[in-house]
Amino acid sequence: MSDPSEQSRQMEELIQKIQEQSEASRDVGMAVLKAAIRSRDSTKQWIEGETEAKRLESEAYIFFEYVYFYLHLAMRSAFVALTEYQMGNLQEYLGILVPAAAVESYFAHWPEELLRGMKREFVDNLNEAELEYTQAVRDSTLEVSTDKFLGIFLLLAIRITQWCTGKDQEREPNLLVIDIAMNDWKEMRLGALMDRVSRTLEA
């Protein structure tokens, strides 16, 4: 039978390891949410709407669009930096943390049943956006990979412009959205975050 003091030390090390793993994954989620908040705040000056309620609704969906986008970029970084197992763990963690935090930031006052429905809608839209961003890169006719990557920023600008104006495909995308998103993406420092996830999560 092992020494009780050794068992205690091993338990403390295990708890510390679990905490470090959770913190590393949480920091990725917080980076996504903070980037989306910064981008939303830089964008909401362009929201059109007949009433304050309508403008606030558009603001919420603009925030969600930015969350989808930065989650996509986070998972692109994860694909390069992490093992398949680590990436799966991170994706599972973010799939719990981010939808709840994003939806409740606007709709926490809703009845529980409606709130659950909104979270399901958020996840459905997240999955749809992920497919669209992935497809945009895959279908791009540009030859240089960096140019293909920039295409998803243009797609984001189109989606954000539609939410700002309430119109589909009737206006040119606001290209200032690309500058906003590019700056806020760089602020996330995803490379450093993924390095930490790689060090703390079991491979």
Binned at pLDDT 50, 70 and 90, residue 171 comes out as low
Q: How many domains are there within the chain?
A: 1
**What residue numbers bound the domain in which 32 lies?**
17-200
Let me know if residue 2 belongs to a domain: no
Let me know if residue 1 belongs to a domain: no
Q: Mean pLDDT, to the nearest integer, of 71-87? A: 94
Q: Determine the longest span between alpha carbons in the chain, in angstroms.
A: 74
Let me know if residue 90 belongs to a domain: yes
Decide which of 143 and 39 is more confident: 39
| End-to-end Cα separation, the chain, in angstroms | 30
Let me know if residue 10 belongs to a domain: no
Let me know if residue 11 belongs to a domain: no
Decide which of 174 and 170 is more confident: 174
Let me know if residue 179 belongs to a domain: yes
- In terms of Cβ atoms closer than 10 Å to its own Cβ (0-12, 13-18, 19+), residue 50 is exposed
Let me know if residue 171 belongs to a domain: yes
